[in-house]
């Protein structure tokens, strides 16, 4: 009886446990079903500062401009499943069109994202049915006509919202189209005049252009083929010397195809190219173009990277960026999405990056991240991104901060500086990492002739263009105010110099008591005589040589750290004084050893000390340039950099002349032998650096092995 009571208690506990589990399952399912609606954001919004201390791009976190709101999936649409969402677009009324290319269905939602209808088949008036499974793209024009890039059926299918057939665009018969051209439409767009642009899979010729009467007009736009000098020479050789048969068999480099396009309110066509260099896994460049109605590229930079500054690894494999979608709003803000990393980049019409948001890197586990993005579209302030693997459309909402930034940026680009000052000050108070705020305030204060503030903000925002404009105004005012004093001062100085020269010429010249110091100073103006004295009268000084190297090092450091803002790229966090030491002291010592070793083999009679003295004394022109740079870089503006360049070239050439003359004297070489030994010395320096690097690597590995071995012995 007692055993039965115990068994009954155990049975009741089991029943209670099962009940708890059964009650928990619906709760877990509910949590899973609402995971996509969670406001939690699993990525960081950021931007890139341009020209930050010499870096083309420097990533910094910023206050979010867009945040994910919700996602549209098969449950949201009341469908059994979605097979492959290839595209999404909106019309002028804010209605949303989702193309499930895998199933051949178009879902139509109103401007509140509520399902209105769907199109599964297009029917003509005579009862003929048109299907569009595996369609690649969709577009809706201002009249409400839906254009479907019907990839597998080799046509662009036009229908109304009720699925009624309107017309088709098929491959036309034209001499312009190559015989082997395959017509597989993947994207379609139409401008306000009724011209239709069609991108075909594998087409390197640009978009196919159709007139408002559906007449084929030709190809519109195309990527240029980037060629190196070697490739250009090879092409010229092929053209001049190869037969027609060999020329036909030779490889030709084709441009990369557009993967998406969009037309703005002024009928300018924006295109995006996913991969612009398939031979490289590094960052791509020149992915975005803007063509005017005549087909001429007027926006975009072939050397500019419109995605991240670096590449990362996905599942331990380094992946190149791949921009595949583009959208443009009514203020010409450009949105592009990277399918590899799932990130959206927002640029203004001056090619300035505003923000980066989104993520996933192929996983898409939370709201706002993606597994395989397929398209991007805009709906007012909302950004819509479709994912063909997760089969959902994510809606991002602009934050109040984002709206403030974009409105202020649009106003200042339009030139209305007086209407956006308060907005930029507010943006600055909200986010100190917004480079556009610094640049914009610098422009505003410069327009208000508050040059001190303009210089301060321009310097903080690394805006050298505005800094140069403001500094030019400050300099002009300074010269206008103090010109009489400056002019009189120059005249007085010249008179004093003339008097001093005349008196000195009448007095008996007293030689410098320190003969070696005199030889060093004279080597700048009389290198032949001075280096001859170094060789045959032992008037070279290692102490003075070390002093010159130390001065050269100090002036080089000052040139970088204390030079004018317009001509230096100083970043305290990145500056390495030890590296500068290697570049100065290290170079001199390395040249001394390498040149001595090489010249000894070729009959040179120069001693190690003499070589060291010659290379050290030859640094004096470079020291003079560093000092000139320190002064003039604080006085010149950006467009006067040519003066500094001329000074630099002159000093470098003169230093080279001093090295040449000194080497000829101490080694007793002809000029030809000097050139040969100098080149071999440089090669020897490279070999020494390589050996030092290899030795350091081996020592580091040996040290790591010893540490590991000791750790295993201690803990074994």
pLDDT at 8 over 50: no
pLDDT at 34 over 50: no
153, part of any domain: yes
* Range with top average pLDDT, 225-234, 309-318, 420-429, 518-527: 420-429
Cα 98 to Cα 75: distance, rounded to the nearest angstrom: 14
Same domain, 541 and 630: yes
551, part of any domain: yes
Same domain, 387 and 419: no
Give the residue-averaged pLDDT of 138-154.
96
Same domain, 621 and 489: no
Asked which of 475, 510, 545 is the last residue of a domain, the reply is 510
Give the residue-averaged pLDDT of 308-313.
78
pLDDT at 376 over 50: yes
Q: Which residue has the higher pLDDT, 483 or 96?
A: 96
Reduced to 3 DSSP states, what percent helix, strand and coil does the chain have, rounded to the nearest 5? 45, 20, 35
Cα 578 to Cα 170: distance, rounded to the nearest angstrom: 67
Query: Over pLDDT 70: what percentage of the chain?
Result: 86
pLDDT at 66 over 50: yes
pLDDT at 656: 93
pLDDT at 279: 54
26, part of any domain: no
pLDDT at 105 over 60: yes
Task: Return the closest-CA partner of residue 119 out of 141, 93, 99.
Answer: 99
pLDDT at 278: 55
DSSP letter assigned to residue 226 = P
pLDDT band at residue 35 under the 50/70/90 scheme = very low
Q: What is the pLDDT of residues 491-530, one digit of tens each?
A: 998 888 888 878 776 665 555 568 889 889 999 989 999 9
pLDDT at 619: 94
Q: Are strands 334-338 and 323-328 parallel, antiparallel or unpaired?
A: antiparallel
pLDDT at 678 over 60: yes
For the four alpha carbons of 17, 23, 29 and 30, in that order, the dihedral sign comes to negative
Same domain, 500 and 520: no
Q: What is the pLDDT of residues 608-644, one digit of tens each?
A: 999 999 999 999 999 999 999 999 999 999 899 999 9
Residue 156's domain spans which residues? Answer: 66-223+258-398
DSSP letter assigned to residue 27 = H
Asked which of 484, 510, 536 is the last residue of a domain, the reply is 510
Q: 155-169, 301-315, 483-497, 558-572: which range is least confident on average?
A: 301-315
pLDDT band at residue 688 under the 50/70/90 scheme = confident
356, part of any domain: yes
Q: Which residue has the higher pLDDT, 29 or 76?
A: 76
Same domain, 292 and 384: yes
Q: What is the pLDDT of residues 199-212, one digit of tens each?
A: 999 888 889 999 99
pLDDT at 322: 87
Same domain, 596 and 572: yes
pLDDT at 507: 64
Q: What is the pLDDT of residues 343-370, one digit of tens each?
A: 999 999 999 999 999 988 767 788 999 9
pLDDT band at residue 332 under the 50/70/90 scheme = very high
pLDDT at 248 over 60: no
Q: Which residue has the higher pLDDT, 203 or 236?
A: 203
Q: 122-136, 418-432, 646-660, 683-697: which range is least confident on average?
A: 683-697
H helix or E strand, kind and range, residue 107: strand 105-109
Q: Where are the alpha helices (DSSP H) in 44-165?
A: 74-77
Q: What is the pTM of this model?
A: 0.81
630, part of any domain: yes
Tell me the pLDDT of the chain averaged across its residues.
Answer: 86
pLDDT band at residue 4 under the 50/70/90 scheme = very low
* Range with top average pLDDT, 215-224, 298-307, 522-531: 522-531
Same domain, 246 and 359: no
pLDDT at 442 over 50: yes
pLDDT at 281 over 80: no
Give the residue-averaged pLDDT of 287-295.
89
Query: Over pLDDT 90: what percentage of the chain?
Result: 57
Q: Where are the alpha helices (DSSP H) in 54-146?
A: 74-77
Give the residue-averaged pLDDT of 280-307.
80
712, part of any domain: no
Task: Return the closest-CA partner of residue 590 out of 611, 563, 561.
Answer: 611
Query: How far are the Cα atoms of 53, 458, 635 from residue 562, in angstroms, in the given order?
Result: 13, 17, 13
Cα 51 to Cα 460: distance, rounded to the nearest angstrom: 12
pLDDT band at residue 592 under the 50/70/90 scheme = very high
Give the residue-averaged pLDDT of 566-585.
87
Count of domains forming the chain = 4
pLDDT at 142: 93
8, part of any domain: no
What's 344-407 look like in SS3?
A: EEEECCCCCEEEEEEECCCCCCCCCECCCEEEEEEECCEEEEEECCCCEEEEEEECHHHHHHHH
19, part of any domain: no
Give the residue-averaged pLDDT of 677-704.
88
pLDDT at 38 over 70: no
How far apart, in Å, do the first and last CA atoms of the chain sit? Answer: 58
Asked which of 398, 415, 433 is the last residue of a domain, the reply is 398
Q: Which residues contact 368 (CB under 8 A, 6 or more apart)?
A: 41, 42, 43, 67, 68, 357, 358, 359, 394, 396
pLDDT at 52: 81
Q: What are the beta bridge partners of residue 22? A: none
Give the residue-averaged pLDDT of 69-94.
95
Same domain, 523 and 650: yes
Same domain, 679 and 531: yes
CATH code of the domain covering residue 160: 2.120.10.30
Q: Where are the alpha helices (DSSP H) in 34-94?
A: 74-77
pLDDT at 487 over 90: no
Query: φ, ψ for residue 591 (rounded to 5)?
Result: -65, -40
pLDDT at 151: 95
pLDDT at 255: 61
pLDDT at 50: 87
Q: Which residue has the higher pLDDT, 236 or 270?
A: 270
Same domain, 163 and 289: yes
Q: Which residue has the higher pLDDT, 576 or 318?
A: 576
Same domain, 212 and 335: yes
Same domain, 420 and 388: no
CATH code of the domain covering residue 415: 1.25.40.10
């Amino acid at each position: 009886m007692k055993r039965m009571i115990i068994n009954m208690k155990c049975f009741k506990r089991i029943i209670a446990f099962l009940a708890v589990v059964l009650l928990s399952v619906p709760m877990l399912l509910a949590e899973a079903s609402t995971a996509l609606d969670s406001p939690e954001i699993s990525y960081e919004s950021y931007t890139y500062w341009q020209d930050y201390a010499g870096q083309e791009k420097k990533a910094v976190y910023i206050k979010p401009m867009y945040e994910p709101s919700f996602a549209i999936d098969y449950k949201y649409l009341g469908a059994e499943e979605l097979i492959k969402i290839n595209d999404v677009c909106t019309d002028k009324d804010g209605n949303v069109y989702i193309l499930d290319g895998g199933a051949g269905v178009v879902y139509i939602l109103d401007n509140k994202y509520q399902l209105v209808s769907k199109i599964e088949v297009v029917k003509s008036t005579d009862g003929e049915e048109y299907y569009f499974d595996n369609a690649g793209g969709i577009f809706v024009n201002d009249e409400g006509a839906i254009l479907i890039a019907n990839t597998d059926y080799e046509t662009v299918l036009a229908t109304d919202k009720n699925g009624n057939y309107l017309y088709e665009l098929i491959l036309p018969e034209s001499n312009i189209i190559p015989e082997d051209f395959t017509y597989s439409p993947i994207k379609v767009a139409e401008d306000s005049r009724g011209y239709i642009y069609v991108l075909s899979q594998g087409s390197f010729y640009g978009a196919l252009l159709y007139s408002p009467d559906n007449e084929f007009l030709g190809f519109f736009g195309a990527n240029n083929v980037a060629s190196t000098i070697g490739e250009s020479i090879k092409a010229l050789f092929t053209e001049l010397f190869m037969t027609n048969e060999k020329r036909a068999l030779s490889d030709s480099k084709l441009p990369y195809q557009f993967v998406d396009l969009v037309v703005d309110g002024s009928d300018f066509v924006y295109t995006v190219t996913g991969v612009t260099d398939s031979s490289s896994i590094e960052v791509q460049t020149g992915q975005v173009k803007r063509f005017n109605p005549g087909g001429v590229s007027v926006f975009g930079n072939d050397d500019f990277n419109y995605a991240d500054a670096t590449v990362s690894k996905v599942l331990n494999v380094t992946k190149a960026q791949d921009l595949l979608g583009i959208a443009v709003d009514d203020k010409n803000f450009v949105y592009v999405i990277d399918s590899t990393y799932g990130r959206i980049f927002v640029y203004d019409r001056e090619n300035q990056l505003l923000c980066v948001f989104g993520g996933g890197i192929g996983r898409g586990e939370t709201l706002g991240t993606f597994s395989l993005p397929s398209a991007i579209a805009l709906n007012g302030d909302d950004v819509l991104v479709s994912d063909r693997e997760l089969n959902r459309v994510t809606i991002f909402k602009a934050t109040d901060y984002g709206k403030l930034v974009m409105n202020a940026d649009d106003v200042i680009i339009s030139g209305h500086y007086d209407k956006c000052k308060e907005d930029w000050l507010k943006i600055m108070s909200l986010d100190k990492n917004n480079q556009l705020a610094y640049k914009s305030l610098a422009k505003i204060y410069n327009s208000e002739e508050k040059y001190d503030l303009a210089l301060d903000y321009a310097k903080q925002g690394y805006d050298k263009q505005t800094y140069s404009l403001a500094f030019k105004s400050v300099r002009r005012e300074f010269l206008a105010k103090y010109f009489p004093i400056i002019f009189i001062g120059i005249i007085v100085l010249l008179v004093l110099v003339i008097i001093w020269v005349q008196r000195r010429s009448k007095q008996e010249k007293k030689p410098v008591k320190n003969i070696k110091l005199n030889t060093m100073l004279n080597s700048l103006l009389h290198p032949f005589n001075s280096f001859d004295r170094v060789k045959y009268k032992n008037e070279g000084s290692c102490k003075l040589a070390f002093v010159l190297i130390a001065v050269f090092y100090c002036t080089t450091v000052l040139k970088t750290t204390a030079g004018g803002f317009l001509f230096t790229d100083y970043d305290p966090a990145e500056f390495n004084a030890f590296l500068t030491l290697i570049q100065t002291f290290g170079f001199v010592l390395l040249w001394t050893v390498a040149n001595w070793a090489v010249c000894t083999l070729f009959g040179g009679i120069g001693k190690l000390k003499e070589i060291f003295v010659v290379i050290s004394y030859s640094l004096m022109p470079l020291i003079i340039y560093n000092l000139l740079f320190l002064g003039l870089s604080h006085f010149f503006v950006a467009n006067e950099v040519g003066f500094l360049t001329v000074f630099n070239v002159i000093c470098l050439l003169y230093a080279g002349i001093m090295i040449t003359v000194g080497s000829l004297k101490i080694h007793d070489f002809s000029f030809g032998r000097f050139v040969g030994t100098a080149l071999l010395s440089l090669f020897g320096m490279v070999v020494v650096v390589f050996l030092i690097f290899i030795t350091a690597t081996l020592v580091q590995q040996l040290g790591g092995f010893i540490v590991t071995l000791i750790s295993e012995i201690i803990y074994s």
